A and B are shown apart, each in its own frame.
Chain A
Amino acid sequence: MNNQKEYFHAIKIVKENCTGCTKCVRVCITEALRVRNGKVELLNDRCIDCGKCVQVCPFNAIQTSADKLSTISKFKYKIAILSSSFAGQFSQKINYRAAKKAILQIGFDEIAEESMVTEVISSFIHDYVKRHPKIRPIISSKCPAIVRLIQVRFPSLLPNVIHLEAPMSALAYYFREKVRKEKKIAPENIGIFLIVPCAAQVTATHQPEGTYKNLGDGAISAQDIFREVMGKLQKKEETEKECDVFPKGLTWAISQLEAEQINSEQRERARTMAVSGIHNANKVLIKIENQQLETFDYIVMDNCTNGCVGGIFNIEDPFVASSRIKDMIRKGATKEFQTEYFQNLYHDGKMDVLELKPRPITALDSSIKNAINKMKQIDEIIKKLPGLDCSACGSPTCRALAEDIVAGKASIDDCIVLMRRNRQGKKL
């Protein structure tokens, strides 16, 4: 029943560093990790690249792999597209415009920002929501970990996911065409790199799932760019190049602001809600599946705390970064970015994406008859297990161990609590 497709993951296990502590196993929402023979293993078809295991590992045994800055040298003309959360990484002492300008000194020819188009894309989302009154709620698709969570755990909700390009993908599309026309550079010589706050965005760039057509040439970690930028700023090297900033559009760094923007005063009312954190999203998705949230028009859902500001590649913690970004939005001047091009893209249907396909992992067998038998076997094993969900066996819960045993991937002897009970004559 397991999907044969090979999935790309921006999460890599470094076995030498792993002590088999099972911290990661317990935190994984899709139960994609097991410790076997003292080392952690990643179940490729289950992993959604949320990165919670990376954050929780004390031994640096689970690492992320974003594209290196050096990869940009393969291209003649290099463009960086910044996630809105990047603006929250710099303290008050550092002017954001100066930080952005420094990116031009580390090898890029042009810089774009997600914030240039968040307003126009919010208006498309609002329009999409009004055009699909029978689907409620509609769920945002900007966060790749959420899209993948829905594919593997809630495939029945795939029609609820908005099938529209995200701002950074739309910008990649726009800049490839603009540079080709204006600078007469062949598309294959134009390198478009997303500066991303998380591992899921790296995965989405390398293996897009419908919603993300492969529009970027690579995804570089915000951390790496931050380090380079700080280096340039400390040396006080000035550049003559200029660049604009678009603070009013930084809204999409924070889930709550993204939801409020869809329901802005300029538009017809839409009932929106924002959910952040993968475990919170999971709870809300269960409610959506039960049709408990049909009164909501649009729900913004993000893997990380507060939204993209909580991404694991960020330097600053999500609360400080949120506060800074909110301040920038409040004080920032409105800088208009011409949106006619995007209006045309939207009306020509070029913002539409491929239909999202399920990646189900829950089924126990391809035949319902066999699956019922397995379910009974699992129940029998669960009765024998201690029910502590301690993960010491290497599976996340007693139920998961029972499932692994029935699937032939583990043995009841892996349960050390049972082993001790048996040795002590069931005294424990």
Chain B
Amino acid sequence: MELKPLHITGALLIDGDTPRPGSLLVVDGRIAALDPAELPDGTETVDAKGQWLAPGIIDLGVFATDKPAFHFGGITRAALMPDNGPLDGAGLVERAAKGGKPDLWVHPLAAATKGLAGKELAEIGLMKQAGARAIATGRARIADSGVMRRVLAYAASLGLVTIIHAEDEGLTAGAVATDGEMATRLGLASAPAIAEAIAIARDLALVEETGAPVHFRQVTTARGLDLIRAAKAKGLPVLCGITPAHLLLSDTAIGDFRTFARLSPPLRSEDDRHACLAAIADGTIDILASGHDPRGPEDKRLPFAEAQPGMAGAETLLALGLGLVRDGHISPGRLFELLATTPACLLGVDAGSLAVGKEADLILVDEGTPWQVDAKKMAAWAGNTPFDGMPVQGRATMMWKGGLRIR
């Protein structure tokens, strides 16, 4: 089927800090013009009726290819973490990359080490040829500093960013929460929040030495963010990300042993949460992602310490991000930098912004409509959201992937 040219009119375009009225023309699956003066023959027109027109969300670091949840959430591309499998061979990467086509693009993140065991280099070069866009250490970090140093240098030589989980395994062994009043009252094994900063400090030293680009997938503590800030000031090739959970929830959310709030890294103190909000406002945090990790009752309906960490986040990512805009932490333009532009840049894909020539991965966003998060009625294959019952505003109403309407 041939794609007709598409003209989206009456939209508020998100191509700068604030939404501006305008229209956008898509030809052959790419953005052909903003506010076009003339249209090709046979152009199909869609009236956005004043809704926001934004780049489709590129969700960096999900643990499952969960298309209904991604489509609900306005996510057109998802970078898949290597943990299930694990994705440590070219064949596996190739298969994972085909997992969502044509209406969702999955960008597999290759396992940095064989079996994600943190011991031997995986076939990073072959996986790159098979479609891997970056490599990742998975749910844990690489404990051995020697291995980590070789991984960073090797991946950098192939032009790949290394995506890191930053927690010191010596401090976090056995822990299911962050040290603090809540963990102590509940009698849960906990680890000090500095487990994150210690891990970040080591890897920043390795980055400084190797010059390798890295992305800390989740930085959730004041001290961790301070280190990132200092590294950026020095000009090191460092990015960092976060999920809405660590911006909006603190460890009080695990009260009553709510396993949906058992996350990795665990929820932090209220002080750290405020530091995260400050860091997303001042530009220290580069990427906002869902961390989508759907978990059924077999993983969650257990005593807290026996439950698996993780949350189903894809459906709530956009609405919670819009909440950050509404609360004055970030501008609409910055929100989509966090959700699309910077992730596209990291993955080296030609999308993620409303610029001429980019792939037409687009969403219409009704930013005001209120709805309520309901764990029992999620599009995701499991409803393990820590935001159950929360009233939110805004959702994606239409989606295009490469100019093709998919919702």
Asked if chains A and B come from one complex, the reply is no
